[in-house]
Amino acid sequence: MEIANTASSDRKSKSILDVLKTLHKSVGMLFFVFIALILVMGIINPRFFTISNGIILTRQACFLGLISMGQMLVILTGGVDVSLGAIIGLCSVLSAIAAKQYGITAGWLVPIIVGGGVGLFNGAVVAYARIDSFAVTLGSLSICSGLALIISKGLTIYNLPKAFRDLAYSDVFSVPMPIIITAAVIFVMYLLLYRVRFGRYVYAVGGNLEALRLAGVNVNRVILGIFAGAGILTGICAAVLSSRINSGQPNLGGALMMESIAACVVGGVTFQGGVGKLGGVIIGVLFLSALSNGFDLIGVSSFVKQVIVGCIIIFAVVIDKLKK
C-alpha cells in the first residue's frame, strides 16, 4: 500500500514538473516572475489577494489584452503599430456619437468598422508602397488623433444611453462581460494563429518573407489581413472601454499603446518578427496589469508607472538581444 502511495506521489510530482517545464518552454521565465510579483504585491498589501481586487485586475487586463493581441499580429511581421492608441481615441469618440444618435448597436459596430478600416489603410500602404510600418502608423497616429479632436472639439462626450454603459457592467453567470468578450477574442486568435493556414503565413511574413513569396502566397493580402485584424481588435477595445467609462474621449488610448508593446516584448514577441506565442502575450498582459494594480494599491504615481513601463520595454528588448 505504501509503495502504491509513493508511486502515485511520484507520478503527481512528475506531472507538476511537466506542467512547469511546458510553461517555461512556452513563455520562458516570465510566468515565474509573474507568480513572484503576485506574491510580493500580496505581502506588501494583503488587499491584493481579495476577490474584489482580482475582479478589478482582470477587468483592467481585458482592455490591455485586446489591444496587445492586435499589436502582437503586427510585431510578428517584424513591424510595430504606433497608431493603435490614437485609433482607440478616434473610435471612442465615434462610438459615443453613434450610441447617442443611433443606439447601442451602432455604438458597438462603428468603432469596430472604423478600427478595421484604419488598419486596412495602414496595411495597404505598408504592403503596396513597401514603407516601414513604424513610419506609416506614425502618420496614422497623427491623423487619427487630429480627427478625434476635430470631431469631439477636444471635449469628452457624455450622456450616453444607459443601455450602452450596461453592456460593460453586465455579467453572464457572474462573469463580467468584458472578460467574456476578451476570452472569446483569445479563442478566435488561437484558432487563427495555430489552427488555420493564415497563422502560418503571419509567422512567415516576419520569419521568412521571400520564402513565402516564392511559395506563391499573396503576401500583400496577408499583410492587409494582419493590420486590419489589429485595427478590429483595437476597435473592440475602444467599444468596451467607452462603454466601461460611459463616455467618448479623444485621448483615451495613449497609454495603452505603449503598454501593448511592453506586453508583447515582455511576453517574448521579438521585434525581428516571426517569434512569439499568444500565451506569452497573455502572461505579459497579466504581468503588467498586476504591476499597475499593485502600484495603485500602494499609492505609486501614474507618472512613475510610465517610467517603469519604459524601463521594462528596454530591459525585455536587451534580454531578447542577448539570447541571440
Task: Kindly state whether residue 5 falls inside one of the protein's structural domains.
Answer: no
CATH number at residue 112: 1.10.3470
Domain total of the chain: 1
Answer yes or no: are the C-beta atoms of 225 and 122 closer than 8 Å: no
Task: Kindly state whether residue 243 falls inside one of the protein's structural domains.
Answer: yes
| φ and ψ of 172, to 5 deg | -125, 115
Task: Kindly state whether residue 164 falls inside one of the protein's structural domains.
Answer: yes
**Long-range Cβ contacts of 150-158 (<8 Å, 24+ apart):** 151/90, 151/93, 151/94, 151/97, 151/250, 152/93, 152/248, 152/249, 152/250, 154/250, 156/247, 156/248, 156/249, 156/250, 157/93, 157/96, 157/97, 157/100, 157/247, 157/248, 157/249, 158/246, 158/247
Residue given cell 513563455 in the structure block: 27
Task: Read off the pLDDT of residues 244-285 as tens digits, 9 standing for 90 and up.
Answer: 999 999 999 888 999 999 999 888 899 889 999 999 999 999
Task: Kindly state whether residue 212 falls inside one of the protein's structural domains.
Answer: yes
Task: Kindly state whether residue 45 falls inside one of the protein's structural domains.
Answer: no
State what percent of residues in the chain have pLDDT above 90.
57
* Other CB atoms within 10 A of residue 225 CB: 19
For the entire predicted model, the pTM comes to 0.87
Identify which has the larger pLDDT, 1 or 40. 40
Task: Kindly state whether residue 253 falls inside one of the protein's structural domains.
Answer: yes
Domain extent, residue 76, equals 56-323
Task: Kindly state whether residue 302 falls inside one of the protein's structural domains.
Answer: yes
Task: Read off the pLDDT of residues 132-149 as tens digits, 9 standing for 90 and up.
Answer: 999 999 999 999 999 999
Task: Kindly state whether residue 183 falls inside one of the protein's structural domains.
Answer: yes
